[in-house]
């Protein structure tokens, strides 16, 4: 499961790099990223309720495209 930003209005092919703790660098669409305030709120929700935040637009990555 990954997030989507329904408010994203930039270029559809824009990507952002993320460096993992093992040094690997992955690129993901910017449309999948969220503002830090939303991320922090979603983390707090998960810590409190143990489930994905309902106010985040989630995508089922295992679904067929």
Closest CA to 3 of 19, 45, 24, 20: 45
Closest CA to 3 of 36, 33, 42: 33
Domain limits of the chain? 2-59
Q: What is the pLDDT of residues 29-62, one digit of tens each?
A: 999 999 999 999 999 999 999 999 999 999 998 8
Q: Cα(43)–Cα(1) distance, rounded to whole angstroms? A: 15
Helices and strands (H and E) in the chain: how many:
1, 4
- pLDDT band per the 50, 70, 90 thresholds, residue 63: confident
């Amino acid at each position: 499961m990954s997030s989507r930003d329904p408010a994203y209005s930039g270029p559809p092919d824009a990507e952002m790099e993320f460096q993992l703790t093992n040094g690997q660098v992955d690129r993901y669409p910017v449309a999948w990223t969220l503002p830090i305030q939303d991320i922090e709120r979603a983390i707090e929700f998960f810590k409190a309720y143990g489930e994905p935040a309902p106010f985040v637009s989630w995508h089922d990555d295992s679904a067929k495209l």
